[in-house]
Structure 1
Amino acid sequence: MPSEQIPSEPAAARAYRALERLIVTLDLAPGSVTTETALVERIGLGRTPVREAIQRLSWEGLMEIRPRAGIAVAALHVGDWRKVIDARRGVEILLARQAARNVANEAAEQFREAALAMQRAVINGNVIFFLEADKALDEAMALAAENPYASRLAAPLQTHSRRFWFRYKSDTGLTEAAEHHVGIIKAILDRDEEAAGKEAKRLMALLRSHAEAAVRR
């Protein structure tokens, strides 16, 4: 299972990972307001790395820094889920195809670990484990694709998408989501560029259908 914190990571990266998880899992409630001091105390890291993480999350649209008024966690508007998927679709297909073309040993092992973690998450019915595995898959994709421009574009969209999925679909969509992700991993490990692109397209279509259903509720 991917770990919540990687010991070799810089403190700012660990702070970002911890805050991102709190946002995705709604432990930092959408629309709530907090402070830098409260976040430092909550995740147990220093003020400087937490401040850097907040700046990054602000740039990604997950937090809003309000001078003299605190730090607001981005609200969740269900209609925005479709916009996130629409923005994400093309870059995900591109990354999957390039990952299948370029995948090497280090990334291949990360893909295998992510697939196993997703399967264990389904067996245990553990949504948090799945979210961690999904994050690990995104990181393996970024490594294998060797396209930092596409990866940097995709990363915040992936985080927004995970938060919407956790809010609106995690109670019923775990098995289906895992199957689609494992399909992408298999195609990449087979070095089948066309199949990887098709599997990524299928996943985006699934997420788009979830977003549309959430709007109709």
Structure 2
Amino acid sequence: MYQTAVHTIAQTGESLAELAYRQIEEMIVTLKLEPGAIVNERALTDITAMGRTPVREAVQKLAWEGLMEIRPRSGIAIAALNPQDFSKVLDAREGVERVLARDAAHYGAALHHKRLKEAADAMSAALAADDVGSFLMADKIFDTVLGQAAENPFAARLASPLQTHSRRFWFRLQRPGSLQQSAGAHRALINAIVAREPEQAADEASKLINHLRTLAP
């Protein structure tokens, strides 16, 4: 199932390192790689079926994003997950999300609109099937397209690790009704972007962050 989403994103011409990154990131977000666990490069190459070079590049990127810690001679530690940090992530994320949403509404092209609608439809399908994994994949695609539509690579690069940390916290802290609320918040944001309403899109981005705040301890 994850490979399908990876293949979809891969149509943009991603490298093997980026594909390895996507796979490892997904395992961290969904806690398949448990917080605090120690892994090694060989295990990651086996899991991803990728070579050492793309896995090593993926690990370096994930370490820079704060999701892994490279410990020489000890292995690679998966970042701890302290629920108290979720609010800090959201505080840092809200401003840049407003910028991305506003710029996507202003600059987004028809192709971006098509992909955003597809992400919204995928979220709705995941909600109907009560499939959290598929929802997270659709959310990742949404974040990727949002960054592209905004035509602001600086904001997109800043937002990307914060979005990943948010998905990880959401997966850990979700409760009954969270999937429906999150899907609805994303749909409202996408509608505002497609309607080319920059200020409304920015406000919908804040509403999405406020929904996430309800899950923070």
The separation in 2 between residues aligned to 1:26 and 1:170, in whole angstroms, is 16
Aligned to 1:48: 53
Aligned pairs (5 A) from 1:1-217: 3-5=5-7, 6=10, 8-169=13-174, 171-211=176-216, 215=217
Structure 1 residue 12, shift from structure 2 partner: 0.4
The separation in 2 between residues aligned to 1:181 and 1:203, in whole angstroms, is 7
The separation in 1 between residues aligned to 2:150 and 2:5, in whole angstroms, is 22
Structure 1 residue 69, shift from structure 2 partner: 0.1
The separation in 2 between residues aligned to 1:171 and 1:30, in whole angstroms, is 23
| TM norm structure 2 | 0.95
List structure 1 runs of 4+ shifted beyond 3 angstroms. Answer: none
| TM norm structure 1 | 0.95
Structure 1 residue 112, shift from structure 2 partner: 1.0
Structure 1 residue 171, shift from structure 2 partner: 4.9
Provide the aligned length of Structure 1 versus Structure 2. Answer: 212
Amino acid at match of 1:80: D
Secondary structure (helix, strand or coil) at the match of 2:77 reads strand
Structure 1 residue 181, shift from structure 2 partner: 0.4
Amino acid at match of 1:198: D
Amino acid at match of 2:6: E
Structure 1 residue 172, shift from structure 2 partner: 3.7
Percentage identity across aligned positions?
A: 50
Q: Is the 8 A contact 1:107 1:144 kept in 2?
A: yes
Deviations 1:129-157 (A, max 9, x none): 10001001101110110000000000000
Secondary structure (helix, strand or coil) at the match of 1:61 reads coil
Amino acid at match of 1:18: Q
Secondary structure (helix, strand or coil) at the match of 2:35 reads coil
Secondary structure (helix, strand or coil) at the match of 2:5 reads coil
Q: CA RMSD in A?
A: 1.3
Structure 1 residue 9, shift from structure 2 partner: 2.4
Structure 1 residue 4, shift from structure 2 partner: 2.8
**Greater CA deviation, 4-13 or 51-60?**
4-13
